[in-house]
Amino acid sequence: MAWTQKILRVNLSDGSIKVEPLNMEWADQYLGQRGLATRYFIEEVDPKVDPLSPENKMIMATGPLTGTMASTGGRYSVITKGPLTGAIACSNSGGFIGAEMKMAGWDMIIFEGKSPSPVYLYIENDKAELLPADDLWGKTVWEADEMLHKKHQDPQLRIACVGRPAEAGCLYAGIINDLHRAAGRSGVGTVMASKNLKAVAVRGTKGVGNIKDPARFMQATQEAKAVLAENAVTGEGLPAYGTQVLMNIVNEIGALPTRNMREVQFEGAHSVSGEAMHEPRKSDGKPNLTTNAACFGCTIACGRISTIDQGHFSVENKPEYWGSSGGLEYEAAWALGPNTGVDDLDALTYVNFLCNEDGFDPITFGATFSAAIDLFDSGAITTEHTGGMELIFGSAEALVWAVEALCKGEGFGKDLGLGSKRLCEKYGHPEFSMTVKGQEFPAYDPRGIQGMGLAYATSNRGACHLRGYTVASEVLGIPEKTDPLVTDGKPELVIAFQDATAAVDSSGLCLFTTFAWTLDNIAPQIDAACEGEWSVEKLAELGERVWNMERDFNLKAGLTAADDTLPKRLLKDAANVGPAKGKVAGLDVMLPKYYELRGWTNDGQLTDDVRSRLSLPA
C-alpha cells in the first residue's frame, strides 16, 4: 500500500521518541506529504502559535510514492508555521533523504517542543535517537554534513541540516539535504533551528515494498516515464538546461523582474541563462555547468552541478569552493542575477553555493538584497550601515559581500536576515519590499504573466511560483496555451493549477513532472501503489481539500483578504518595455472572481458549503 503506516513523534523538550501508526482514514483523504502532514499539523497546532516558540511543530513528511520506482518519487515536505509569513509553511525538497526516510520505515516525523541544548536526530531503520549536536552548532551545513558522515562512518547516510543563519534567526533559512537540495522557502529552517535541532541523519536499508499491485505499478510507472522522456520540456529542455531553460524565454516575453521589479527585462539575461552555463568561459575555457544531476528516482535530471572558475574573484584563494556543487536553478539565478542587476554567472554560482552551504533561500535573499539596494538608493541606508560597501544594482562585489555578511551574521548581514518586508519597514520604506504575506516573489513578473499575479496573491505560503504555476500554460502552452497578458480565464486557471499541485505535492512526486504529466498520468501510478481507489477526480478533490485546509489555517492564524494582495509597484507602476509595456497586474478583476469560484465569501472566508462538500475538519 506504499505507506509504511508509521510515524515517528519526536518531543525535543523531553527527548522522548514515540512510534505511532499512521491515521489511515486521513491517508485516504489527504494521501501523504503536504496534504497529510498539514492535516496532522492543523489538528495539533494552534494557528495563533508563535512560529519560533516551542509550541510550534515541524513535520517532515514523505508521500506514498516516495522511495518507489515512480519517476521523481523521492520528495518530502516540511510543514510548519512559517516565521517569515505567519502562515502555513510547506517546503518541498528532492535529493535523497526523503526516500531514505521511507526506506528506514517512516512516513513522517513530527517534531515538537524545543531541545534544551543542540541535538540531531539519528535514524537507522527502526532505531531513532536524539544525539548531542553541540559540536555541530555554529557549523555550516557542509561542515556538519562531513562531520556526521565521518562520525557515523557511513557514506550512504542522508542528512538534512540547518546552517548558521538559521541558528542566528535569519527568517528565511531553509533545510538543506544532500548538500544542495533544499526545503528552501518560508523559513522552515529557522523553525528547525529554533528547536535546537541541527540535523536529521537517516539511514534506511529496509526498502519500500508493500505496493498494492506491483505488476500494474511497474507498468504504470514505466508508461509514465516514457511520457516524460518524449516530452519537449521534461525530455529535452530540463535535462539540457535545467529550469534555467526559462531565463531567456521569460526575458523575451517581458516578464523577467529586474532590479527589484523596477523593470521587466534584463539586458544581461543571456549571460546568466541556462545556455550560458554550457558555454566555455573566456577565462579558463571551461563551462560553468559540469553535469546535470537527478534527485532520487528522477528520470528528468534537471539539477545542475556547476564549477566556478578558480580565478574568479569570489573564490580566489578559497580552494574549498573549487570543486563542483549544486549550480543555479532558474529562480535562484533570477533572484541573484536580474533582480540585483548582476550578470556575472560565476558570482551568482558562488552565492548560490553559499545559500546551500549555509542553508537559506536564494529567492528571498536575492530579493531582500535588491530591496536593500533600493533602500540605499533612496538614502534610507548608507555606507555607515554597510561598513563602507556601496549597494548598487549590478555590483557582483556587493552581492558577494552581502551573502558573506549574512552567513557570518555580522553587521548588516543581520539586517539582511530579516527578509525584505521587515528590512524595509525597519528603514521606513515598506513599499520597496516585493512580497506577499511577507514572502518574496520569484522570477515571473505578474505584469507580463497575469495569472501569476493572482497565484502570488492567493498563495497559502506567501508569494510563490510552486503553488499554482500558470507559467506552464501562459508561457509554455501546457496543457494549453493561454495569453499571458489577459486576466480573463485566469482565476479558473489558477484554481486548477493550485488544486492539482496540492495533489501532486501530497504524492511523493515532483511538480516538474506536470510539464508532461496531468493527473491522468499520475492517478494510475498512485492507484496501483496505494490501498483504495485513486481516480483523477479523487485527486483533484483532494487537492482542493488541501488548499482549503491551508487557507482555513491561515485565516485562523489571523490573515485576512487584505493579505491577498500585491505590492504597489506591480499594481500601479506599469511595465516599461517589452510585450507587457503599459500593463499592471490585474489583480482587482481576478480576485473577486477567484473567491467566487472557490465558493468563498466576498472577503475570502470559507463557507459551510465548502467545508461540508470537502469534508474539512472544523
Partner 1 sequence: MQRSLQIDPGKCTGCLQCEMACSYENEGVFNPARSRIKVFTFHQEGRFVPYTCTQCDEAWCMQACPVDAIVLNAATGSKDILEDVCVGCKVCTIACPFGTVNYNSDTGKVIKCDLCGGDPKCAEACPTQAITYINADETGFDRMRAWAGKSDNQPRVQ
Partner 2 sequence: MKHVIIGAGPAGVVAAETLRKLEPESDITLIGDEPEPPYSRMAIPYYLENKIDAAGTHLRKSADYFEQNNIEVLQSRIDAINTDKKILTPDTGEQINFDKLLIASGSSPVKPPIEGMDLPGVHNCWTLADANQIIDRAKPDAKVVLMGAGFIGCIILESLVSRGVKLTVAEMENRMVPRMMNEQSGTLLKQWCENKGVTVLTSARVSGIEKGSQHPLSVVMSVGGALPADLVICATGVRANIKLCEESDIETKQGILVNEFLQTTHPDIFAAGDVAQGRDFSTGQYSVQAIQPTAVEHARIAATNMTERREHLHRGSINMNVLDTLGLISSSFGDWEGLKGDDSCELGDNDRFRYLNLQFQDDILIGANTLGLTQHIGVLRGLIQSKTRLGKWKNKLANDPTLIMEAYLATVQGQA
Q: Which residues bind partner 1 (CB under 8 A)?
A: 67-69, 71, 96, 103, 156, 179, 204-209, 214, 218, 225, 229, 290-299, 301, 303, 305-307, 323-325
We find the least distance from the C-beta atom of residue 240 to partner 1, in angstroms, to be 12
Which CB atom, from 295 or from 457, has the smaller least distance to partner 1? Answer: 295
We find the least distance from the C-beta atom of residue 143 to partner 2, in angstroms, to be 13
We find the least distance from the C-beta atom of residue 180 to partner 1, in angstroms, to be 9
- Residue 150 binding partner per list partner 2, partner 1, none, with a CB distance cut-off of 5 to 8 Å that depends on partner kind: partner 2
Q: Is the peptide bond before 21 cis (omega within 30 degrees of 0)?
A: no
* Strand (E) or helix (H) holding 148: helix 141-152
Which CB atom, from 60 or from 208, has the smaller least distance to partner 1? Answer: 208
- Residue 151 binding partner per list partner 1, partner 2, none, with a CB distance cut-off of 5 to 8 Å that depends on partner kind: partner 2
Which CB atom, from 74 or from 165, has the smaller least distance to partner 1? Answer: 74
**Separation between Cα atoms, residue 262 and residue 461, nearest integer Å:** 24
We find the least distance from the C-beta atom of residue 322 to partner 2, in angstroms, to be 13
Which CB atom, from 294 or from 403, has the smaller least distance to partner 1? Answer: 294
We find the least distance from the C-beta atom of residue 205 to partner 2, in angstroms, to be 10
With b for 16 or more beta-carbon neighbours within 10 A and e for fewer, the 279-309 pattern comes to: eebeeeeeebbbebbbbbbbbbbbbbbbbbb
* CA nearest neighbour of 405 among 389, 421, 429: 389
- Residue 290 binding partner per list partner 2, partner 1, none, with a CB distance cut-off of 5 to 8 Å that depends on partner kind: partner 1
Which CB atom, from 12 or from 245, has the smaller least distance to partner 1? Answer: 245
We find the least distance from the C-beta atom of residue 199 to partner 2, in angstroms, to be 17
- Residue 294 binding partner per list partner 2, partner 1, none, with a CB distance cut-off of 5 to 8 Å that depends on partner kind: partner 1
Distances (CA, A) of 419 to 168, 294, 330, 370, 587: 13, 30, 20, 11, 24
Greatest Cα pair distance, the chain, in angstroms, is 67
We find the least distance from the C-beta atom of residue 130 to partner 1, in angstroms, to be 24
Backbone angles phi, psi at 344, to 5 degrees: -95, 100
Which CB atom, from 17 or from 240, has the smaller least distance to partner 2? Answer: 17
Say which residues have a Cβ less than 8 Å from residue 331's Cβ, sequence separation at least 6. Answer: 243, 362, 363, 442, 443, 465
Residues at the contact surface with partner 2, assessed by CB under 8 A: 146, 149-155
We find the least distance from the C-beta atom of residue 291 to partner 2, in angstroms, to be 13
**Contact in structure between 369 and 340 (CB atoms under 8 Å):** yes
Which CB atom, from 117 or from 153, has the smaller least distance to partner 2? Answer: 153
Say which residues have a Cβ less than 8 Å from residue 461's Cβ, sequence separation at least 6. Answer: 82, 85, 87, 88, 89, 90, 185, 186, 437, 439, 467, 550
Q: Is residue 35 classed as helix, strand or coil in its secondary structure?
A: helix
Say which residues have a Cβ less than 8 Å from residue 473's Cβ, sequence separation at least 6. Answer: 451, 479, 480, 481, 482, 493, 497
* CA nearest neighbour of 30 among 106, 87, 130, 107: 107
Which CB atom, from 319 or from 388, has the smaller least distance to partner 2? Answer: 319
Which CB atom, from 219 or from 292, has the smaller least distance to partner 1? Answer: 292
Which CB atom, from 92 or from 299, has the smaller least distance to partner 1? Answer: 299
- Residue 90 binding partner per list partner 2, partner 1, none, with a CB distance cut-off of 5 to 8 Å that depends on partner kind: none
Which CB atom, from 153 or from 602, has the smaller least distance to partner 2? Answer: 153
Which CB atom, from 146 or from 404, has the smaller least distance to partner 2? Answer: 146
- Residue 297 binding partner per list partner 2, partner 1, none, with a CB distance cut-off of 5 to 8 Å that depends on partner kind: partner 1
Which CB atom, from 162 or from 294, has the smaller least distance to partner 1? Answer: 294
**Separation between Cα atoms, residue 392 and residue 383, nearest integer Å:** 11
We find the least distance from the C-beta atom of residue 131 to partner 2, in angstroms, to be 9
We find the least distance from the C-beta atom of residue 184 to partner 1, in angstroms, to be 19
- Residue 152 binding partner per list partner 2, partner 1, none, with a CB distance cut-off of 5 to 8 Å that depends on partner kind: partner 2
We find the least distance from the C-beta atom of residue 155 to partner 2, in angstroms, to be 5
**Contact in structure between 193 and 167 (CB atoms under 8 Å):** yes
- Residue 368 binding partner per list partner 1, partner 2, none, with a CB distance cut-off of 5 to 8 Å that depends on partner kind: none
R_g of the chain computed on alpha carbons: 22
**Separation between Cα atoms, residue 72 and residue 33, nearest integer Å:** 14
- Residue 470 binding partner per list partner 2, partner 1, none, with a CB distance cut-off of 5 to 8 Å that depends on partner kind: none
Backbone angles phi, psi at 11, to 5 degrees: -95, 110
- Residue 149 binding partner per list partner 2, partner 1, none, with a CB distance cut-off of 5 to 8 Å that depends on partner kind: partner 2
- Residue 207 binding partner per list partner 1, partner 2, none, with a CB distance cut-off of 5 to 8 Å that depends on partner kind: partner 1
- Residue 324 binding partner per list partner 2, partner 1, none, with a CB distance cut-off of 5 to 8 Å that depends on partner kind: partner 1
Tell me, what amino acid is at 370?
S
We find the least distance from the C-beta atom of residue 146 to partner 2, in angstroms, to be 8
Strand partners, 225: none
We find the least distance from the C-beta atom of residue 102 to partner 1, in angstroms, to be 9
**Separation between Cα atoms, residue 474 and residue 512, nearest integer Å:** 16
Which CB atom, from 5 or from 324, has the smaller least distance to partner 2? Answer: 324
Neighbours of 395 (CB within 10 A): 19
**Contact in structure between 254 and 266 (CB atoms under 8 Å):** no
**Separation between Cα atoms, residue 111 and residue 56, nearest integer Å:** 9
- Residue 305 binding partner per list partner 1, partner 2, none, with a CB distance cut-off of 5 to 8 Å that depends on partner kind: partner 1
**Separation between Cα atoms, residue 281 and residue 290, nearest integer Å:** 12
- Residue 146 binding partner per list partner 2, partner 1, none, with a CB distance cut-off of 5 to 8 Å that depends on partner kind: partner 2
**Separation between Cα atoms, residue 382 and residue 373, nearest integer Å:** 10
We find the least distance from the C-beta atom of residue 100 to partner 1, in angstroms, to be 9
Say which residues have a Cβ less than 8 Å from residue 191's Cβ, sequence separation at least 6. Answer: 51, 52, 56, 58, 80, 81, 82, 83, 89
